[in-house]
Structure 1
Amino acid sequence: MCGTILVVDDEPLKRITLQIELSEAGYEVYEAADAQTARRIFDSKPIDVIVSDVRMPGFDGLELLSHVKQARPDVEVILMTAYATVDTAVLAIKRGAYDYITKPFTTQELLEKLERLFATRKPTRGDDRVETFGDLIARSACMKRLLAQLRAVADTERTILLCGESGTGKELLAEAIHRHSRRRDKPLVRFGCAALQPSVVESELFGQEKGTFSGATRQKQGRFELADGGALLLDDIEDLPTDVQPKLLRLVERQEFQRVGGEEPVRVDVRLICAAKRDLLPLVRDGRFRQDLYYRLNVFSLTVPPLRERPDDIPVLARHFVNKHAALVGEHNVTLAPHTLEELMRHTWPGNVRELEHVLERALAFHGGGEIRPEHVLPLSRAGSAVGLPALELAEFGPRGLNETVADIERRLILMALRQCNGNQARAAQRLGIPRTTLRDKMAKYSIAVA
């Protein structure tokens, strides 16, 4: 097999013709009629090259190109267009396209481009190939096995138990499972069981009837009703109060429950995904988790390895997070210095992938543009999280003086706070420790758009 191609075109005749003729030339070919379908295939299959039309309903080919290059920079993209202009070609190449081809064209013309592409492409060992599934990225063998298990179980109705340390990405796994399931068009509702009173957990999960207690002036739907037809992610399931466990067991067995203060059964159709930071079996032995509920939830169990056990994933995750957060603040061509990657590889990451992302997001706020060097991510504390401010050198800011440097750092911190608070200015100001009016003045000063 020469390679794996994904053809994306809303013209059925052209799409199917290319699929047939490229297959006959020795390629494995997938096809999609729009960019959204293409993204689902791209997220779940080991694609080498995407051949996509530029103009399509919904997302266009350039938007698909941007998504591909952010998620998996190693995948090449060739754009097809009947409206080729110099501007389109330049924009496509700037965004990372390998080449473009003007319609109408013969399959032989495309084959010649593909042959040149594969001839100049750096050979990669099977183990080095980066795979994706939803927003998950993997190069390590253990994570690739996990992604294969996810693909196998995603489009079933099975209850899934995700086990792994805090920060390993269990919520991303749940989102990927839901996105690739037959329930993808229905909601994925999330609920965390940690640090809540049993009565609160019961009311939040199962809802309550009007007049159940003082202040209950209306009927309230719980998370299971909100997730009807879709899926519910129960995070920190190990902290589910023992008083609530029998009610959850009944729901899992019968897909029905009673609201708090109610007598009539409420039927729902919900797929259950549970996440746990700890092994549930010791809790079962200690009597803190029901054995029958454990076996009902543990129909299909997946363990997410900690980041320290999959160091091969650190470089690809680091570059992904740098590209992701740099794009959010309008930066381009940000790179990681080789010595920076060495420092990241040496760290044990007790906070796992979440910690790695926070360290790099913070480094972007202080690196001054261009390359992220070791001093921007250090020191990494023994506890695993970056402490203090990164060591800054005047040389890294080039000819800029103190005022310009301070202004640049201030602008980056404001952008980071706004992003972390989803554009909420009041919360961002609180996080920065300044009045909201001061924040608004500084946003105007630095031409930061109001969300």
Structure 2
Amino acid sequence: MSDSSPSPHKVLIIEDDEIMRLSLEDALRMDGIPVLTAASAMEGRRVLGRNAVDLVITDIRLPDGTGADLFHEVSAAYPGLPVMVMTAFGSVPQAVELVKAGAVDYLTKPFDVGAFLEAVRRVLNTRREQRSGMTAHGAADSLGRSTAMRSVKHYVDRVAPLDSSVLITGESGVGKEVVANQIHQGSARAGKAFIKVNCAAIPLNLVESELFGHEKGAFTGADRRRVGRFEQANGGTIFLDEIAEIPPEVQVKLLRVIQERVLERVGGNDSITLDVRILAATQVDLEKAIMQGTFRSDLYWRLNVIRIDIPPLRRRPDDIPLLARRFGDGFAASMGKRVSGFSPDAESMLIEWPFPGNVRELKNLVERAVALCDGQRIEVHDLFPEAVPQPDPRGYASLREAVEAAEQEAIRNSLARCGGAVGLAAEALNISRKSLWEKMRRYGIDRQSETSR
């Protein structure tokens, strides 16, 4: 086996024919591609366990197994790691089946070295683009691929070219700023300013000055003219995050700016004409805020021309593995760590996690996991170090058993409190009715028996 200096784009060749193995290794090295080699499936597994690679190239026939078996092992243990198979003419049908199952390509021996290098470069370039988030699906992947988020992305694509105001709603951390960015980038204003304002972070006495600017001497401490955020966004887009936090007295002036597209700086008399698209976001129920008298109804209707609701992460668990892997690859690259993917147990735990902080919480969790990880894959203890049970936690054999026991207890308690009503219990647990039924079936929980507890 041979090694090379660390590289984010390393190739592993598993080939028992020494002449072929050395020939391919030399070709890759001459092309500037770092390479590792192995002469058997067992040796290949050992190399994979010790090194981060971006492409596995394996012969379909090996002395201690088959490339097909190795492909399935790699796919399960290292999700997303591309595998290319090499085959003699007689094994082409098997290679085709592997490609259908997820292998990136197959090469029929004997093959031209130039064609081999071209195929490798193509896979590595795709891998590089995936890591930098620049694939054709990059924008969609930044939101997720679940049915719910594909619908959001479709809606974003439809409204982006328009100039109408958009109100983006959803819980904290669901990705409202990401949606705002995509709307701006998909509009005719994409090359112009995109000004983001966190309305909750501005001191109440400075909100008006921050948004609309002020003239010199407008108030104590105003020793020079200041251009406000709306003026900075002129010709482009302004994104008002946490719009519900704007105080009522400033809401009146904001309404006029939206209606008339003119503003006056604080302490000034000149009217400044604006050409700006307005995007706003909130995690607050604005209709309830209107009823409570904290938000103006006329401002709400000016902002709510087009509305995009982003569902919380717990309602779209299919997005969790995709987003986690994307965050993991990004953090691994920025930290210079050889970490790729999650163990099956770690991925299962992520899918089961409720994520009250949504995508922001997931991103922070993965960043910590990459920082703590001392292996090739992220494990459960990297994600949840504080949750790993101590030697005597009630006799549970594993973290999974402890989690399942806690989940069963929560379901039983909720059913008891709700008189066995599955719908009410699901709502109390913040999961879907279908999910609760499935968990009850898995754990053998009878709703009738729980009402007598």
Structure possessing the higher relative contact order (Cα contacts under 8 Å, 6 or more residues apart): 2
Deviations along 1:128-159, one digit per CA (max 9) or x if unpaired, are xx954266242210010000000111111111
- How many aligned positions are there? 282
Map of 1:171 onto structure 2: 177
1:285 pairs, out of 282, 291, 296, with 291
* 1:297 paired to 2:303: yes
Letter of the 2:374 counterpart: G
Call closer, same or farther: CA 1:193–1:372 in 2, change over 3 Å. same
CA contact (8 A) 2:327 2:367 kept: yes
Paired position in structure 1 for 2:262: 256
What is residue 207 of structure 1 aligned with on the other side?
A: 213
For residue 175 of structure 1, give the secondary structure of its aligned residue in structure 2. Answer: helix
Q: Contact 1:138–1:144 at 8 Å: present in 2 too?
A: yes
Q: Give the conservation status (yes or no) of the 8 Å contact 2:240–2:281.
A: yes
The AA in structure 2 aligned to 1:120 is: V
Deviations 1:411-436 (A, max 9, x none): xxxxxxxxxxxxxxxxxxxxxxxxxx
> Are 2:165 and 2:305, in contact at CA under 8 Å, matched by a contact in 1?
yes
Match of 1:362 in 2: 368
Residue number in structure 1 paired with 2:99 = 120
Q: TM-score, normalised by structure 1?
A: 0.57
TM-score by length of 2: 0.57
* Unaligned stretches of 5+ residues in structure 1: 1-64, 67-83, 99-115, 125-129, 380-387, 394-451
Deviations 1:250-297 (Å, cap 9, x if unpaired)?
111111011001111111111111010112101111221111110000
Give the 3 Å change call, closer, same or farther, for CA 118–271 of structure 1 in structure 2: farther
Residue of structure 1 in register with 2:319 after alignment: 313
**Bigger Rg, which one:** 2
Say which structure is richer in helix: 2
Partner secondary structure for residue 248 of structure 2: coil
CA RMSD of aligned residues (A): 3.1
Would the aligned equivalents of 2:143 and 2:178 in 1 still touch at CA under 8 Å?
Answer: no
- Residues 198 and 244, structure 1, Cα contact 8 Å, conserved in 2: no
Regions of 4+ moved over 4 Å: 84-89, 91-98, 116-119, 388-393
Cα distance, 1:215 vs. partner?
Answer: 2.2
The equivalent of 1:218 in structure 2 is 224
Distance 1:294 1:137, change over 3 A: closer
2:279 match: secondary structure: strand
Cα deviation 1:328-382 (Å, max 9, x = unaligned):
0112352200000111111100010111111111111111131211111125xxx
Asked if 1 retains the 8 angstrom alpha-carbon contact of 2:140 and 2:150, the reply is no
The secondary structure found in structure 1 opposite 2:322 is helix
Distance in 2 separating the partners of 1:118 and 1:297: 53
Tell me how far apart the structure 2 counterparts of residues 90 and 141 of structure 1 sit (CA, whole Å).
39
1:341 to 2:343 alignment: no
Counterpart for residue 10 of structure 1: none
Task: Determine which of 117, 138, 151 is the counterpart of 1:145.
Answer: 151
Q: Deviations over 1:201-243 (max 9, x none)?
A: 0000000011112221211100001111111110100111100
- What is the alpha-carbon distance in structure 2 between the residues aligned to residue 347 and residue 177 of structure 1? 30
Question: In the superposition, relative to structure 1, how do residues 191 and 227 fare at CA in structure 2: closer, same or farther (>3 Å)?
Answer: same
Partner of 1:76: none
Given residue 255 of structure 1, which amino acid in structure 2 is its aligned partner?
R
Partner of residue 11, structure 1: none
Distance 1:230 1:180 in 2: 12
Provide the residue aligned with 1:193 in structure 2.
Answer: 199
Cα displacement (A) at 1:180 = 1.5
Structure 2 residue aligned with 1:183: 189
Task: Give the aligned partner of residue 131 of structure 2.
Answer: none
Give the aligned partner of residue 71 of structure 2.
Answer: none
CA contact (8 A) 1:257 1:265 kept: yes
What residue identity is the alignment partner of 2:173? G
Pick one of 324, 329, 336 that aligns with 1:330: 336
Alignment match of 1:372 (pick from 358, 368, 378): 378
Deviation at 1:194, TM superposition (A): 1.2
Distance 1:357 1:238, change over 3 A: same
Q: Give distance in 1, aligned partners of 2:178 and 2:102.
A: 30
Alignment of 1:377-416 (within 5 A): 377-378=383-384, 388=386
Matched-pair contact (CA < 8 Å) for 2:207–2:250: yes
